[in-house]
Protein backbone atom coordinates (compact mmCIF):
# COMPACT_ATOMS: atom_id res chain seq x y z
CA UNK A 1 0.00 0.00 0.00
CA UNK A 2 2.88 2.33 0.81
CA UNK A 3 4.45 1.64 -2.56
CA UNK A 4 1.12 2.11 -4.35
CA UNK A 5 0.79 5.53 -2.73
CA UNK A 6 4.41 6.66 -3.01
CA UNK A 7 5.55 5.38 -6.39
CA UNK A 8 3.04 7.37 -8.53
CA UNK A 9 3.81 10.49 -6.51
CA UNK A 10 7.56 10.01 -6.88
CA UNK A 11 7.20 9.31 -10.59
CA UNK A 12 5.14 12.45 -11.18
CA UNK A 13 7.45 14.60 -9.06
CA UNK A 14 10.53 13.10 -10.69
CA UNK A 15 9.07 13.66 -14.16
CA UNK A 16 8.09 17.26 -13.47
CA UNK A 17 11.44 17.95 -11.77
CA UNK A 18 13.36 16.35 -14.62
CA UNK A 19 11.49 18.37 -17.23
CA UNK A 20 11.92 21.59 -15.26
CA UNK A 21 15.61 21.01 -14.61
CA UNK A 22 16.24 20.09 -18.25
CA UNK A 23 14.42 23.20 -19.42
CA UNK A 24 16.36 25.35 -16.94
CA UNK A 25 19.63 23.72 -18.00
CA UNK A 26 18.82 24.15 -21.71
CA UNK A 27 17.81 27.77 -21.16
CA UNK A 28 20.99 28.39 -19.16
CA UNK A 29 23.17 26.80 -21.86
CA UNK A 30 21.39 28.87 -24.49
CA UNK A 31 22.01 32.06 -22.53
CA UNK A 32 25.64 31.06 -21.94
CA UNK A 33 26.11 30.30 -25.64
CA UNK A 34 24.58 33.68 -26.57
CA UNK A 35 26.81 35.44 -24.05
CA UNK A 36 29.88 33.62 -25.38
CA UNK A 37 28.97 34.44 -28.99
CA UNK A 38 28.62 38.11 -28.07
CA UNK A 39 32.02 38.11 -26.37
CA UNK A 40 33.61 36.38 -29.35
CA UNK A 41 31.94 38.86 -31.69
CA UNK A 42 33.36 41.77 -29.71
CA UNK A 43 36.81 40.13 -29.85
CA UNK A 44 36.47 39.78 -33.62
CA UNK A 45 35.60 43.43 -34.01
CA UNK A 46 38.55 44.35 -31.83
CA UNK A 47 40.92 42.16 -33.88
CA UNK A 48 39.71 43.62 -37.16
CA UNK A 49 40.27 47.09 -35.75
CA UNK A 50 43.83 46.23 -34.69
CA UNK A 51 44.67 44.81 -38.13
CA UNK A 52 43.26 47.91 -39.81
CA UNK A 53 45.48 50.07 -37.57
CA UNK A 54 48.50 47.95 -38.51
CA UNK A 55 47.68 48.27 -42.22
CA UNK A 56 47.38 52.03 -41.77
CA UNK A 57 50.74 52.11 -39.97
CA UNK A 58 52.58 50.38 -42.83
CA UNK A 59 50.63 51.79 -45.74
CA UNK A 60 52.99 54.69 -46.38
CA UNK A 61 55.83 52.18 -46.84
CA UNK A 62 53.88 49.34 -48.47
CA UNK A 63 52.32 51.67 -51.07
CA UNK A 64 55.39 53.86 -51.71
CA UNK A 65 55.98 53.66 -55.50
CA UNK A 66 59.71 54.39 -55.68
CA UNK A 67 60.94 52.45 -52.66
CA UNK A 68 62.89 49.25 -53.47
CA UNK A 69 61.09 46.07 -52.47
CA UNK A 70 63.75 44.83 -50.05
CA UNK A 71 63.94 48.17 -48.28
CA UNK A 72 60.14 48.39 -48.04
CA UNK A 73 59.95 44.89 -46.58
CA UNK A 74 62.60 45.67 -44.00
CA UNK A 75 60.80 48.86 -42.93
CA UNK A 76 57.45 47.06 -42.68
CA UNK A 77 59.01 44.35 -40.53
CA UNK A 78 60.54 46.97 -38.25
CA UNK A 79 57.25 48.82 -37.87
CA UNK A 80 55.29 45.65 -37.03
CA UNK A 81 58.06 44.39 -34.73
CA UNK A 82 57.61 47.47 -32.53
CA UNK A 83 53.80 47.61 -32.85
CA UNK A 84 52.33 45.96 -29.74
CA UNK A 85 49.32 46.55 -27.49
CA UNK A 86 48.32 45.40 -24.01
CA UNK A 87 50.27 42.71 -22.16
CA UNK A 88 50.05 40.03 -24.83
CA UNK A 89 49.05 41.87 -28.02
CA UNK A 90 51.40 41.76 -31.02
CA UNK A 91 51.39 41.29 -34.79
CA UNK A 92 52.88 38.39 -36.72
CA UNK A 93 53.86 38.01 -40.38
CA UNK A 94 54.48 34.86 -42.46
CA UNK A 95 55.41 34.45 -46.09
CA UNK A 96 53.51 32.16 -48.46
CA UNK A 97 55.78 29.21 -47.58
CA UNK A 98 55.04 29.44 -43.85
CA UNK A 99 58.31 31.10 -42.81
CA UNK A 100 57.89 33.47 -39.87
CA UNK A 101 59.05 37.01 -40.67
CA UNK A 102 57.84 38.99 -37.64
CA UNK A 103 57.17 37.85 -34.08
CA UNK A 104 57.94 40.42 -31.35
CA UNK A 105 57.19 38.09 -28.41
CA UNK A 106 58.98 34.95 -29.64
CA UNK A 107 61.90 36.20 -31.73
CA UNK A 108 63.35 32.67 -31.83
CA UNK A 109 60.59 31.79 -34.33
CA UNK A 110 61.69 34.41 -36.87
CA UNK A 111 63.19 32.77 -39.94
CA UNK A 112 61.79 29.33 -39.13
CA UNK A 113 59.42 27.49 -41.44
CA UNK A 114 56.36 26.67 -39.33
CA UNK A 115 54.09 25.40 -42.10
CA UNK A 116 53.56 22.06 -40.30
CA UNK A 117 53.11 23.54 -36.81
CA UNK A 118 50.08 22.06 -35.03
CA UNK A 119 48.49 22.70 -31.64
CA UNK A 120 47.69 19.87 -29.14
CA UNK A 121 44.36 19.34 -30.91
CA UNK A 122 46.09 18.62 -34.22
CA UNK A 123 45.13 21.97 -35.76
CA UNK A 124 47.65 22.93 -38.50
CA UNK A 125 47.76 26.55 -37.38
CA UNK A 126 49.92 28.26 -40.03
CA UNK A 127 48.37 26.34 -42.93
CA UNK A 128 44.86 27.34 -41.87
CA UNK A 129 45.86 30.98 -41.31
CA UNK A 130 47.54 31.16 -44.75
CA UNK A 131 44.43 29.69 -46.37
CA UNK A 132 42.17 32.25 -44.69
CA UNK A 133 44.47 35.11 -45.69
CA UNK A 134 44.56 33.99 -49.31
CA UNK A 135 40.73 33.79 -49.30
CA UNK A 136 40.47 37.45 -48.35
CA UNK A 137 40.98 37.31 -44.62
CA UNK A 138 39.25 35.59 -41.74
CA UNK A 139 39.22 34.41 -38.14
CA UNK A 140 40.73 31.21 -36.73
CA UNK A 141 40.67 29.75 -33.21
CA UNK A 142 43.51 27.58 -31.92
CA UNK A 143 45.81 27.06 -28.94
CA UNK A 144 48.96 29.11 -28.52
CA UNK A 145 51.38 29.93 -25.72
CA UNK A 146 50.27 33.02 -23.76
CA UNK A 147 53.40 35.07 -22.92
CA UNK A 148 52.15 36.48 -19.61
CA UNK A 149 51.22 33.04 -18.29
CA UNK A 150 53.67 30.79 -20.10
CA UNK A 151 50.84 28.30 -20.76
CA UNK A 152 48.76 27.22 -23.73
CA UNK A 153 45.46 29.11 -24.03
CA UNK A 154 42.72 29.41 -26.61
CA UNK A 155 43.52 32.20 -29.05
CA UNK A 156 41.44 33.89 -31.74
CA UNK A 157 43.38 35.44 -34.64
CA UNK A 158 42.42 37.58 -37.59
CA UNK A 159 44.64 37.56 -40.70
CA UNK A 160 44.77 39.35 -44.04
CA UNK A 161 47.13 39.12 -46.98
CA UNK A 162 49.58 41.65 -48.30
CA UNK A 163 49.07 40.60 -51.93
CA UNK A 164 52.02 42.48 -53.39
CA UNK A 165 54.48 40.38 -51.40
CA UNK A 166 52.34 37.31 -50.69
CA UNK A 167 52.67 37.89 -46.94
CA UNK A 168 50.14 37.05 -44.26
CA UNK A 169 49.64 39.73 -41.58
CA UNK A 170 47.64 39.04 -38.47
CA UNK A 171 47.14 39.44 -34.76
CA UNK A 172 45.28 37.57 -32.05
CA UNK A 173 43.60 37.84 -28.69
CA UNK A 174 43.59 35.19 -25.98
CA UNK A 175 40.19 33.88 -24.86
CA UNK A 176 40.97 32.77 -21.32
CA UNK A 177 39.02 35.75 -19.96
CA UNK A 178 35.99 34.60 -21.94
CA UNK A 179 36.43 31.11 -20.50
CA UNK A 180 36.48 32.52 -16.98
CA UNK A 181 33.34 34.58 -17.55
CA UNK A 182 31.52 31.64 -19.13
CA UNK A 183 32.59 29.33 -16.28
CA UNK A 184 31.37 31.88 -13.74
CA UNK A 185 27.95 32.14 -15.37
CA UNK A 186 27.75 28.34 -15.74
CA UNK A 187 28.49 27.95 -12.02
CA UNK A 188 25.67 30.39 -11.24
CA UNK A 189 23.26 28.44 -13.43
CA UNK A 190 24.35 25.17 -11.79
CA UNK A 191 23.80 26.68 -8.34
CA UNK A 192 20.29 27.80 -9.30
CA UNK A 193 19.45 24.35 -10.68
CA UNK A 194 20.88 22.66 -7.58
CA UNK A 195 18.86 24.90 -5.26
CA UNK A 196 15.71 24.15 -7.22
CA UNK A 197 16.39 20.43 -7.02
CA UNK A 198 17.04 20.57 -3.27
CA UNK A 199 13.80 22.49 -2.73
CA UNK A 200 11.80 19.91 -4.68
CA UNK A 201 13.59 17.10 -2.86
CA UNK A 202 12.75 18.62 0.52
CA UNK A 203 9.06 19.02 -0.38
CA UNK A 204 8.92 15.48 -1.78
CA UNK A 205 10.62 14.05 1.32
CA UNK A 206 8.09 15.69 3.62
CA UNK A 207 5.24 14.36 1.49
CA UNK A 208 6.70 10.84 1.50
CA UNK A 209 7.10 10.90 5.27
CA UNK A 210 3.45 11.89 5.68
CA UNK A 211 2.34 9.08 3.36
CA UNK A 212 4.51 6.55 5.18
CA UNK A 213 3.11 7.59 8.56
CA UNK A 214 -0.46 7.25 7.26
CA UNK A 215 0.23 3.91 5.57
CA UNK A 216 2.14 2.32 8.46
CA UNK A 217 -1.15 0.96 9.79
CA UNK A 218 -1.35 -1.38 6.81
CA UNK A 219 2.07 -2.89 7.45
CA UNK A 220 0.86 -5.70 9.66
CA UNK A 221 -1.64 -6.80 7.04
CA UNK A 222 1.07 -6.77 4.38
CA UNK A 223 3.31 -8.90 6.57
CA UNK A 224 0.53 -11.43 7.02
CA UNK A 225 0.02 -11.63 3.27
CA UNK A 226 3.76 -12.03 2.75
CA UNK A 227 3.92 -14.85 5.29
CA UNK A 228 0.99 -16.57 3.62
CA UNK A 229 2.62 -16.30 0.21
CA UNK A 230 5.88 -17.62 1.65
CA UNK A 231 4.12 -20.65 3.13
CA UNK A 232 2.36 -21.28 -0.18
CA UNK A 233 5.64 -21.06 -2.04
CA UNK A 234 7.33 -23.44 0.39
CA UNK A 235 4.41 -25.86 0.05
CA UNK A 236 4.57 -25.71 -3.75
CA UNK A 237 8.33 -26.24 -3.61
CA UNK A 238 7.87 -29.31 -1.41
CA UNK A 239 5.09 -30.65 -3.66
CA UNK A 240 7.28 -30.14 -6.68
CA UNK A 241 10.15 -32.03 -5.06
CA UNK A 242 7.84 -34.88 -4.04
CA UNK A 243 6.44 -35.03 -7.57
CA UNK A 244 9.95 -35.21 -9.02
CA UNK A 245 10.87 -37.97 -6.56
CA UNK A 246 7.76 -39.99 -7.41
CA UNK A 247 8.49 -39.62 -11.10
CA UNK A 248 12.10 -40.72 -10.56
CA UNK A 249 10.91 -43.68 -8.48
CA UNK A 250 8.52 -44.73 -11.26
CA UNK A 251 11.30 -44.42 -13.82
CA UNK A 252 13.51 -46.72 -11.74
CA UNK A 253 10.78 -49.26 -11.00
CA UNK A 254 9.03 -49.39 -14.35
CA UNK A 255 12.09 -48.95 -16.51
CA UNK A 256 15.47 -49.90 -15.13
CA UNK A 257 14.17 -52.47 -12.63
CA UNK A 258 12.27 -54.38 -15.32
CA UNK A 259 15.26 -54.31 -17.64
CA UNK A 260 17.57 -55.58 -14.88
CA UNK A 261 15.14 -58.45 -14.12
CA UNK A 262 15.15 -59.34 -17.83
CA UNK A 263 18.98 -59.34 -17.91
CA UNK A 264 19.08 -61.57 -14.79
CA UNK A 265 16.63 -63.98 -16.42
CA UNK A 266 18.71 -64.17 -19.61
CA UNK A 267 21.92 -64.79 -17.69
CA UNK A 268 20.35 -67.55 -15.59
CA UNK A 269 18.88 -69.17 -18.69
CA UNK A 270 22.24 -69.02 -20.49
CA UNK A 271 23.94 -70.57 -17.44
CA UNK A 272 21.49 -73.49 -17.47
CA UNK A 273 21.96 -74.12 -21.21
CA UNK A 274 25.71 -73.57 -21.28
CA UNK A 275 26.65 -77.28 -21.26
CA UNK A 276 23.73 -78.93 -23.08
CA UNK A 277 22.74 -76.22 -25.56
CA UNK A 278 25.66 -73.83 -26.12
CA UNK A 279 24.06 -72.27 -29.18
CA UNK A 280 20.93 -71.31 -27.25
CA UNK A 281 23.10 -70.14 -24.35
CA UNK A 282 24.96 -67.81 -26.72
CA UNK A 283 21.61 -66.55 -28.05
CA UNK A 284 20.44 -65.82 -24.49
CA UNK A 285 23.69 -63.98 -23.75
CA UNK A 286 23.23 -61.92 -26.92
CA UNK A 287 19.68 -61.00 -25.92
CA UNK A 288 20.87 -60.20 -22.44
CA UNK A 289 23.56 -57.92 -23.89
CA UNK A 290 20.92 -56.18 -25.98
CA UNK A 291 18.75 -55.62 -22.90
CA UNK A 292 21.82 -54.37 -21.01
CA UNK A 293 22.43 -51.78 -23.75
CA UNK A 294 18.80 -50.71 -23.44
CA UNK A 295 19.31 -50.38 -19.69
CA UNK A 296 22.38 -48.20 -20.23
CA UNK A 297 20.42 -45.96 -22.59
CA UNK A 298 17.57 -45.75 -20.08
CA UNK A 299 20.00 -44.73 -17.32
CA UNK A 300 21.46 -42.09 -19.62
CA UNK A 301 17.97 -40.80 -20.42
CA UNK A 302 17.02 -40.52 -16.77
CA UNK A 303 20.35 -38.87 -15.97
CA UNK A 304 19.81 -36.41 -18.82
CA UNK A 305 16.31 -35.65 -17.56
CA UNK A 306 17.68 -34.92 -14.09
CA UNK A 307 20.56 -32.75 -15.33
CA UNK A 308 21.43 -32.55 -19.06
CA UNK A 309 25.16 -33.18 -19.37
CA UNK A 310 25.36 -30.77 -22.31
CA UNK A 311 24.77 -27.92 -19.85
CA UNK A 312 27.79 -28.99 -17.80
CA UNK A 313 29.98 -29.78 -20.81
CA UNK A 314 29.18 -26.93 -23.19
CA UNK A 315 27.04 -24.43 -21.30
CA UNK A 316 23.57 -22.95 -21.61
CA UNK A 317 23.77 -21.59 -25.16
CA UNK A 318 25.21 -24.80 -26.61
CA UNK A 319 22.63 -26.82 -24.68
CA UNK A 320 19.76 -24.82 -26.17
CA UNK A 321 21.30 -25.06 -29.63
CA UNK A 322 21.61 -28.86 -29.34
CA UNK A 323 18.04 -29.18 -28.03
CA UNK A 324 16.58 -27.03 -30.82
CA UNK A 325 18.61 -28.75 -33.57
CA UNK A 326 17.32 -32.13 -32.43
CA UNK A 327 13.78 -30.74 -32.25
CA UNK A 328 14.01 -29.24 -35.76
CA UNK A 329 15.37 -32.47 -37.26
CA UNK A 330 12.64 -34.51 -35.57
CA UNK A 331 9.68 -32.25 -36.39
CA UNK A 332 10.76 -30.31 -39.50
CA UNK A 333 9.88 -27.03 -37.72
CA UNK A 334 12.21 -24.15 -38.60
CA UNK A 335 13.93 -22.71 -35.52
CA UNK A 336 15.52 -19.26 -35.00
CA UNK A 337 17.80 -19.02 -31.94
CA UNK A 338 19.26 -15.77 -30.57
CA UNK A 339 21.17 -15.97 -27.28
CA UNK A 340 22.99 -12.92 -25.84
CA UNK A 341 24.79 -13.88 -22.63
CA UNK A 342 27.20 -10.89 -22.81
CA UNK A 343 29.89 -12.96 -21.10
CA UNK A 344 27.85 -13.23 -17.87
CA UNK A 345 27.47 -16.85 -16.66
CA UNK A 346 24.16 -18.24 -15.45
CA UNK A 347 23.85 -20.14 -12.20
CA UNK A 348 23.08 -23.86 -12.17
CA UNK A 349 19.53 -23.25 -10.91
CA UNK A 350 18.79 -20.75 -13.65
CA UNK A 351 20.14 -22.63 -16.67
CA UNK A 352 18.45 -25.93 -15.73
CA UNK A 353 15.16 -24.11 -15.03
CA UNK A 354 15.18 -22.32 -18.39
CA UNK A 355 16.30 -25.49 -20.16
CA UNK A 356 13.34 -27.40 -18.68
CA UNK A 357 10.97 -24.57 -19.61
CA UNK A 358 12.17 -24.78 -23.22
CA UNK A 359 11.87 -28.59 -23.18
CA UNK A 360 8.29 -28.42 -21.95
CA UNK A 361 7.39 -25.68 -24.43
CA UNK A 362 8.84 -27.67 -27.34
CA UNK A 363 6.86 -30.72 -26.25
CA UNK A 364 3.64 -28.67 -26.28
CA UNK A 365 4.47 -27.16 -29.68
CA UNK A 366 5.19 -30.58 -31.18
CA UNK A 367 1.98 -32.09 -29.81
CA UNK A 368 -0.53 -29.26 -30.15
CA UNK A 369 0.68 -26.17 -32.02
CA UNK A 370 0.82 -27.38 -35.66
CA UNK A 371 3.55 -24.75 -36.16
CA UNK A 372 6.04 -24.40 -39.00
CA UNK A 373 8.37 -21.91 -37.32
CA UNK A 374 9.41 -20.79 -33.88
CA UNK A 375 11.90 -18.30 -32.52
CA UNK A 376 13.70 -18.33 -29.18
CA UNK A 377 15.49 -15.32 -27.65
CA UNK A 378 17.50 -15.26 -24.44
CA UNK A 379 19.02 -11.97 -23.35
CA UNK A 380 19.96 -9.68 -20.45
CA UNK A 381 17.97 -6.59 -19.62
CA UNK A 382 19.50 -4.77 -16.69
CA UNK A 383 19.37 -7.13 -13.66
CA UNK A 384 16.98 -9.61 -15.28
CA UNK A 385 17.54 -12.47 -17.68
CA UNK A 386 14.75 -12.99 -20.19
CA UNK A 387 13.76 -16.00 -22.26
CA UNK A 388 11.12 -15.54 -24.97
CA UNK A 389 9.69 -18.26 -27.21
CA UNK A 390 7.21 -17.55 -30.00
CA UNK A 391 5.60 -19.94 -32.52
CA UNK A 392 3.31 -19.39 -35.51
CA UNK A 393 1.02 -22.29 -34.65
CA UNK A 394 -2.73 -22.52 -34.22
CA UNK A 395 -2.71 -21.03 -30.70
CA UNK A 396 -5.59 -21.39 -28.23
CA UNK A 397 -8.18 -19.22 -26.53
CA UNK A 398 -9.35 -21.59 -23.78
CA UNK A 399 -8.29 -20.19 -20.37
CA UNK A 400 -8.28 -23.72 -18.96
CA UNK A 401 -5.40 -24.62 -21.26
CA UNK A 402 -3.01 -22.50 -19.19
CA UNK A 403 -3.77 -24.66 -16.15
CA UNK A 404 -2.48 -27.85 -17.80
CA UNK A 405 0.31 -29.87 -16.25
CA UNK A 406 2.95 -28.75 -18.77
CA UNK A 407 2.27 -25.04 -18.44
CA UNK A 408 1.85 -25.33 -14.66
CA UNK A 409 5.24 -27.03 -14.42
CA UNK A 410 6.87 -24.24 -16.42
CA UNK A 411 5.23 -21.56 -14.27
CA UNK A 412 6.19 -23.29 -11.02
CA UNK A 413 9.81 -23.77 -12.08
CA UNK A 414 10.16 -20.06 -12.85
CA UNK A 415 8.26 -18.79 -9.81
CA UNK A 416 10.23 -21.04 -7.45
CA UNK A 417 13.27 -18.94 -8.33
CA UNK A 418 11.37 -15.70 -7.74
CA UNK A 419 10.83 -15.11 -11.45
CA UNK A 420 7.86 -14.16 -13.59
CA UNK A 421 6.20 -16.42 -16.17
CA UNK A 422 3.91 -15.10 -18.91
CA UNK A 423 2.03 -17.00 -21.62
CA UNK A 424 -0.12 -15.31 -24.24
CA UNK A 425 -1.97 -17.09 -27.03
CA UNK A 426 -4.79 -16.40 -29.46
CA UNK A 427 -6.39 -18.91 -31.73
CA UNK A 428 -4.81 -18.63 -35.16
CA UNK A 429 -2.04 -16.27 -33.99
CA UNK A 430 0.40 -18.63 -32.30
CA UNK A 431 1.70 -18.60 -28.71
CA UNK A 432 4.14 -16.36 -26.85
CA UNK A 433 5.98 -17.51 -23.71
CA UNK A 434 8.25 -15.36 -21.54
CA UNK A 435 10.29 -16.26 -18.46
CA UNK A 436 12.02 -13.50 -16.49
CA UNK A 437 14.47 -14.25 -13.67
CA UNK A 438 16.07 -11.74 -11.26
CA UNK A 439 19.78 -12.42 -11.72
CA UNK A 440 21.02 -10.41 -8.73
CA UNK A 441 19.99 -13.42 -6.64
CA UNK A 442 21.00 -16.25 -8.96
CA UNK A 443 23.62 -14.83 -11.38
Reported as a single tens digit per residue, the pLDDT across 132-156 is 999 999 999 999 988 878 888 889 9
- Angle, CA 216 vertex, CA 210 and CA 221 arms, to 5°: 150
pLDDT band at residue 254 under the 50/70/90 scheme: low
Q: Give the strand pairing for 384-391 and 334-340.
A: unpaired
Q: Look at 426 and 55; give whichever has higher pLDDT.
A: 55
Which of 86-95, 159-168, 254-263 has the weakest average pLDDT? 254-263
pLDDT at residue 441 in the model: 52
Domain range 12-174, CATH class: alpha beta
Average pLDDT over residues 175-195: 80
Q: Look at 217 and 410; give whichever has higher pLDDT.
A: 410
Distance between CA atoms of residues 439 and 191, nearest Å:
39
pLDDT at residue 189 in the model: 78
Asked whether the predicted pLDDT for residue 206 surpasses 70, the reply is: yes
pLDDT band at residue 245 under the 50/70/90 scheme: low
What are the φ/ψ torsions at residue 22 (nearest 5 degrees)? -65, -40
Residues of the chain with CATH 3.30.565.10: 313-442
Which of 77-81, 316-320, 342-346 has the weakest average pLDDT? 342-346
Q: CATH for 313-442, among 3.40.50.300, 3.20.20.10, 3.30.565.10, 3.90.1310.10?
A: 3.30.565.10
pLDDT band at residue 409 under the 50/70/90 scheme: confident
Asked whether the predicted pLDDT for residue 381 surpasses 80, the reply is: yes
pLDDT band at residue 256 under the 50/70/90 scheme: low
Q: Look at 404 and 394; give whichever has higher pLDDT.
A: 394
Q: Look at 36 and 441; give whichever has higher pLDDT.
A: 36
pLDDT at residue 304 in the model: 55
Q: Look at 396 and 228; give whichever has higher pLDDT.
A: 396
pLDDT band at residue 126 under the 50/70/90 scheme: very high
Asked whether the predicted pLDDT for residue 389 surpasses 90, the reply is: yes
Asked whether the predicted pLDDT for residue 212 surpasses 80, the reply is: no
Average pLDDT over the chain reads 82
Which of 11-15, 56-60, 285-289, 429-433 has the weakest average pLDDT? 285-289
pLDDT at residue 377 in the model: 94
- The share of the chain scoring above pLDDT 90, in percent, equals 30
Distance between CA atoms of residues 401 and 361, nearest Å:
13
Asked whether the predicted pLDDT for residue 349 surpasses 90, the reply is: no
Report for 108-112, 223-227, 289-293, 407-411: range of highest mean pLDDT: 108-112
Residues of the chain with CATH 3.30.450.20: 12-174
Q: Look at 193 and 374; give whichever has higher pLDDT.
A: 374
Q: Look at 264 and 323; give whichever has higher pLDDT.
A: 323
Average pLDDT over residues 317-333: 88
Q: For 153-170, how does the pLDDT look when each residue is reduced to its tens digit (9 = 90+)? A: 889 999 999 999 999 999
Average pLDDT over residues 183-203: 81
pLDDT at residue 390 in the model: 94
| First-last CA distance in the chain | 30
Asked whether the predicted pLDDT for residue 102 surpasses 70, the reply is: yes
pLDDT at residue 101 in the model: 94
Average pLDDT over residues 331-337: 92
Q: Look at 1 and 80; give whichever has higher pLDDT.
A: 80
Asked whether the predicted pLDDT for residue 183 surpasses 90, the reply is: no
pLDDT band at residue 247 under the 50/70/90 scheme: low
Amino acid sequence: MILLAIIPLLLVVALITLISLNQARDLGEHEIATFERNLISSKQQELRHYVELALTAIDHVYSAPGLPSDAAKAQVKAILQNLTYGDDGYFFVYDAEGVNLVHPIQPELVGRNLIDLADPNGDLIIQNLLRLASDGGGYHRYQWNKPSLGELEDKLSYVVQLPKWGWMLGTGLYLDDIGREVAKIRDQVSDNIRNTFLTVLAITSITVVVIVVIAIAFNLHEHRLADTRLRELASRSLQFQLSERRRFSRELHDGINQLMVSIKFRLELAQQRLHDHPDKAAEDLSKGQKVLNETIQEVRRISHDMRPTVLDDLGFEAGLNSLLEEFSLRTGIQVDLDVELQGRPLSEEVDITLYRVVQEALTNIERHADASRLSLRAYWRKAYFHLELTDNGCGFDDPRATDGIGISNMRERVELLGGRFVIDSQRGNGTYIQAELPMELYG
